[in-house]
Structure 1
Amino acid sequence: MPSLTRFTPFLLLGLISAYSVQAAPADGFVLDKVVQVSRHGVRPPTDSAKLAKAIGRELPNWTVPDGHLTGHGYAAAVEMGRYRGQVLRAAGLLPSGCPGPGEVFVRASPLQRTQATATALLDGLFPGCGLQPSVVQGDKDALFQADKMPFARLDPRRAEDSVLERMGGSVVGAQARYQVAEQQLRSVICGEASACQYRDQPWQLVEDEDGRVAIKGLSLEANLGETFRLEYSEGLPLYQVAFGHGATVQQVAQLTTLTKAKYDFINDSLYIASRGGSQLMNQISLALKQGTPQAATDALGNPPDVRFTLLVAHDTNISYLRTLLGFRWTLGDYLEGNIPPVGSLQFERYKQLKTGRYFLRVAFEAQSLGQIRQLAPLTAAQPPLHADLASGKGCVSTQAGLLCPMEVALKRLDQHIDRTALTAYSYR
C-alpha cells in the first residue's frame, strides 16, 4: 500500500507543469493551490464512563472504543472526500487518477480518529490509490496540540481575564443568562423521574493540567451537547439520541446551546486563540505565499510546496483559526460557528489570468446533520453547506466563490499570529 507517512516519498518533488489538461478558468481565475483543514469525523464520547457517572445515566453503546472514528463516520468522510475531489478536479487542481509528484501532502493529528478520518478522506479523494497520511511519532503534534505544549502555554491571569471579559465580567452572571438552556438539559437527562442524580453545577473558572483555562460545570454541559449531536450524526435510533429528546435536527441543534457557549467564552478569546492557533495559522500562511510575490521563508520551518495540502485536525484547531480570521458562519440548522464532523476550513488560491494577480478564497464547508446521518450522496444539486469569508476591500464574486486580493487576505491571516507562540517544525 502506498504510504504518505514520510515527507520525501510523499512529496515526490514534481512540477505543476506536469499537468497536460487544465480546466476552463472561472471568470478568468484559475485555482492553483489549496490548503484545507478538516475536523475528524463522527466519534463516541472520549470518556463515556466518566460522562455517565456525572449524569447518573448510562449512555448508548457504540461499536468502537471511546473517541475513535466510527464506521459510519468513516463512510461520511469518504463521501466528503469524494465530493471535494470532484470539485478540485473540475477546477483543474487534481489529476483524474492517483496523485503524482509534488501534487498532494496530507498530515493528520496523532489521534486515532484524525488518522482514520484522513485515510477516509484520501479514499474519497483518490479511490483505489491506498494512500495514508503522514503522522508524527507520539501523541502530540505542535501543529495540532500547540495549546497543550509548553511553547504556547497561556499566562493564567491573562487567560482568565480574557474569558471573564467574554462572559461579561461575571461567571455567575454568564451562567444566569443560560438558565433556560440548563433547565432544558436537565429535563433531557432526568426525564420525568422524581429522583435524578444529575444536578447543575455552579460554573467556575479553573486551570487544567495543560495550563488551559476551563469552565467547570459548563465543560460537562458542553460535552453532553456535543455527545447528543454525535449520536444523531452516527445514525443511532432516535429513541437513543439525547435519551429520546433528539428526534429532529432542530432539537439536536438546540441541545448544543451550551456547547456553543463554551466556545464563545474560551475558544473565541483572541488571546487564547492566538496562543493555541498561531503555529497552525503561520504554516497555512507560509504555504499560501509559496510561489507568489509574498513568498517568505521561516527559520522555524516551512511547509511542503504542493498544490493540495490536507491537514486533519480537531474542532478546537478550526475554532482558533476562525477566531484569528474573525470568520463566523451559520450553516443550515447548526448554531452559529458550529464545526460539524469533517467540517473543513478551505484556503483556495487563484491566479487571475489577465493580470497575473493572486486572490484567495477562504470558506467553511460541512455536511448537514441530515446528510451525515443519512450518508447522503453529495452532488452539485445537493452540495454540502458552505460560507465564504469576505477578507476586505477589493473582493470579487465569481463562479468559484468570493475571491479577495492576496495581499489583503494575507494581512487577515497574519494579523494575530503570535510569534512567541511558535516553535520549530519539520514535516519529515
Structure 2
Amino acid sequence: MRRLPLCATVKDEPAMPIRSRPTVSARLSSAFVALSLCAATALPITALSSAAHAADGLVSDKMILLMRHGVRPQTDSKELAKLSPKAWPTWDVADGQLTAHGIQAVKALAPWQRGMLAAKGLVPAEGCPVQGTVFGWANRSVQRTIDTGKVLLATMFPGCGLGVGYATAEGPDPLYDASETELGAIDVDQAKEAILKAAGGSFDGLKARAAPLLKELDAILGCETGAKGCPLSAQDWQIDVKEGEGDKPASVSLKGPLAKAGTLVQVFLLQYANGFPADQVAFGKASTAADIIRLSELRQLKYDVGNRVPYLAARDASNFLNQILIALAIDPTRDETAGGPPNAKVLLFMGSDTQQAEIAAILGLHWHIPPYLDDETPPTGALSFERLHDAEGKAYVRLGFTAPSLDQIRTAGPIDAAHPPIQAISALPGCEAETVEGACPLETFLTLSRPKLDMTAVAPYAYE
C-alpha cells in the first residue's frame, strides 16, 4: 500500500482492476487496540476551532464521512438478462462504473457538502484547505468509489489538487472487504445459523412479507409464467454456500427470489436516479420515485438476512469500524495516529452501501430519511461520525446519515442551503441518557462501541 500526501492528486485507476486475494499475516492484538483507542477524550480547545465558530453549545472539530459512490449501472448484465424476457435499457458505461449522469449528480452535491463543512469551521469557505486537513480514501477494487471521490473533492475544492488514495496491493482491500480475505473469513456453520436467526428461525415470515411485492415484481418483469426462471415468486429460498478455494475464503448468502429481487429493485432505483425516461424505468411499470421506494422494501428484507446480520457484519466491517474509532479517539494536537488514518479534520471514505449497512449493524444504528424507507443507502448517501467539543473541552460524537433525494439525483439539480439533501441524526443505543444536542460523549461512545468489534477480524492498516 502507499500513503498519499493528504492533498495529493491521484493517478487514474485502470477501468478493470485486477482482483486477487493477499494473505493478511498481521492480526491486531488487544494491546494494540487499547493503545490506539485510549487517547484523551477531553480535547484541548485551543487546537480545535476558530473563535468564529466557538459559539455556545457543541463545536465540531472532525468529520468522518463514509459515502456511497454515485450512480452506476447493474454490476452483471448477463445475470440480469436471465431475470426477464424483456430487453433491458442500455447504459453509457460498462457494468458497475460511475455514469456520466452520476458524475453530474456528484458535482451538484459538492457545493452543499463544502458549505456544510465550512459552516462547521472544518474547511475554508473559499480557497484551498490547509495541507493535511482533508483526506480521502477509496476501495481500490471498486473503480466507481475512486471516481466518485475524485469528482467530489475536485468540485468541492477546485484547483487544489485533492484526490483520494487507495491501496495498491492486488486483491480485496481488508479495510473494505475483510470477509473476502483471511482476516475476516467466516465460519460456514456459524454464518448459516446467524442468517436463520436473523430470519426468525425460518424463512416463513420473510416469505409472507415479500410475497405481494414479489408478485408485483413478476408482473413488471413479464415473468408471471412460462419463461425460464419464472415466476420469481415461486423459486426456492435457500442458503447458498460457496466453499473456499486457495486463498479465497468461503462465503454464505441467501439464494433465491429475495436475493434476486433485492438486486432488481436496486437496478430500478439506479435507472430512475440516472434520468432514464419513465418508459425505461422498471420497464415503464413502476417508474415513479414512490414506486421505486415502495419496491425497495424487498432490498431492505434482503439486507436483513445479509449485510445486516450481526455475525456477517462483524466479520466484514470490524476492521473498518476500528479505523473510525481510532480516528475519533485521537487527540487533534498529536501527530501520531496510533495506526489509524491520517489525523485530518475531514476524513472522506468512499465506499459502498455494503460498508454503510454493516457498520450500522455492528453499532445498532438506524436512520429515518423519508420519503426513503428507513435505513436506505442511496447513491452518494453518507454515514457520518462528527466529533465535537463543549466549552470545557469534553468531546462528543454525533452520528448521522445524509442523502440527496431520488429526484435531486435524477435531475442533478442544485443542492444547497435552499435545496438541502435529506438529513437525519442516528442515535447510538445505550447512550440516550447522556446525549447532548444529538451527540454522545466520546468516552461513552467508545465504551459502547469497542466491545462490538470482532477483534479476530481486526488488523493494522497502512494508508500507503
TM-score calculated relative to the size of structure 2: 0.83
2:109 to 55, 80, 83: 80
8 Å Cα contact 2:239-2:253 kept in structure 1: yes
Deviation at 1:390, TM superposition (A): 2.3
Counting only pairs closer than 5 Å after superposition, residues 247-258 of structure 1 correspond to structure 2 as 247-258=287-298
Question: What amino acid is aligned across from residue 338 of structure 1 in structure 2?
Answer: E
Secondary structure of the residue aligned to 1:106 is strand
Matches within 5 A, 1:304-323: 304-323=342-361
Q: 2:24 corresponds to which residue?
A: none
Query: Which residue pairs with 1:181 in the alignment?
Result: 213
The amino acid across from 2:328 in the alignment is L
Change (3 A) 1:25 1:207: farther
> Once the two structures are superposed, what CA deviation does each residue of 1:68-116 show, in whole Å capped at 9, x if it has no partner?
0001111212222321111111221112322222211110111111111
After TM superposition, list the pairs within 5 Å mapping 1:175-214 onto structure 2. 175-190=207-222, 195-197=226-228, 198-200=230-232, 201-208=235-242, 210-214=249-253
Partner of 2:180: 148
CA distance in 2, matches of 1:123, 1:9: 16
- Residue 340 of structure 1 corresponds to 378
Q: Structure 1 stretch 52-61 or stretch 248-257: which is displaced more?
A: 52-61
Contact 1:83 1:379 in 2 (8 A): yes
Change (3 A) 1:20 1:145: closer
Q: Distance in 2 between matches of 1:378 and 1:247?
A: 23
The equivalent position to 2:52 in structure 1, one of 4, 23, 27, is 23
Contact 2:326–2:340 (CA under 8 A) maintained in structure 1: yes
Q: Is the 8 A contact 1:234 1:372 kept in 2?
A: yes
The runs of 5 or more residues in structure 2 that have no matched partner are: 9-44, 244-248
Report deviation, 1:293.
11
Name whichever of 282-291 and 92-101 sits farther off.
92-101
User: Is the partner of 1:85 in helix, strand or coil?
Assistant: helix
Structure 1: which 5+ runs fail to align?
Answer: none
2:461 equivalent in structure 1: 425
* Pairing partner for 2:325 from 277, 280, 285: 285
- The secondary structure found in structure 2 opposite 1:152 is coil
Q: Which amino acid aligns with 1:403?
A: A
Opposite residue 203 of structure 1, the aligned amino acid is W
Q: CA deviation at 1:423?
A: 2.2
Change in CA separation of 1:406 and 1:82 when aligned onto 2, cut-off 3 Å? same
Distance in structure 2 (CA, Å) of the matches to 1:246 and 1:286: 44
**Aligned residue for 2:424?**
387
State whether structure 2 residue 405 is matched by structure 1 residue 376.
Answer: no
User: What residue in structure 2 maps to residue 363 of structure 1?
Assistant: 400
Q: For 1:411 and 1:343, locate their aligned partners in 2 and report how far apart those are by CA, in whole Å.
A: 27
1:27-71 CA-to-partner distances (Å, cap 9, x unmatched) read: 332211111110111000001122112323321000000000001
After TM superposition, list the pairs within 5 Å mapping 1:19-168 onto structure 2: 22-95=51-124, 96-110=126-140, 111-137=142-168, 138-168=170-200
Would the aligned equivalents of 1:11 and 1:306 in 2 still touch at CA under 8 Å?
Answer: no
TM norm structure 1: 0.90
* Stretch of structure 1 that moved more, 36-45 or 406-415: 406-415
Q: Cα distance, 1:139 vs. partner?
A: 4.3
Partner in structure 2 of residue 263 of structure 1: 303
Displacement of 1:194 = 6.9
Determine if contact 1:82/1:121 at 8 Å carries over to the other structure: no
Amino acid at match of 2:420: P
In structure 2, relative to structure 1, the CA distance for the partners of 1:411 and 1:151 (3 Å cut) is same
Counterpart in the other structure of 1:215 = 254
What is the letter of the counterpart of residue 207 of structure 1?
V
Displacement after TM superposition at 1:414 (Å): 2.0
* Distance in 2 (alpha carbons) for counterparts of 1:186 and 1:278: 37
Q: How far apart are the structure 2 equivalents of 1:322 and 1:196?
A: 39
Q: Kindly state the Cα deviation for residue 297 of structure 1 after the two structures are TM-superposed.
A: 6.7
Please say if residues 335 and 343 of structure 2, whose CA atoms lie closer than 8 Å, have aligned partners that are also in contact.
no
* Deviation digits for residues 126-149 of structure 1 (CA, Å, limit 9, x no counterpart): 123242210112342111111211
2:6 partner amino acid = F
Whole-angstrom distance in 1 between the partners of 2:294 and 2:143? 29
In the alignment, the residues of structure 2 paired with residue 163 and residue 293 of structure 1 have an alpha-carbon distance, to the nearest angstrom, of 44
Distance 1:294 1:158 in 2: 41
Amino acid at match of 1:131: L
Q: What's the offset of the Cα at 1:381? A: 2.9
SS in 2 for 1:376: coil
How many residue pairs were aligned? Answer: 413
RMSD: 2.5
The alignment status of 1:7 with 2:3, answered yes or no, reads: yes
CA deviation after TM superposition for structure 1 residue 370, in Å: 1.0
Q: Is the 8 A contact 1:281 1:413 kept in 2?
A: no
Q: Which amino acid aligns with 1:94?
A: V
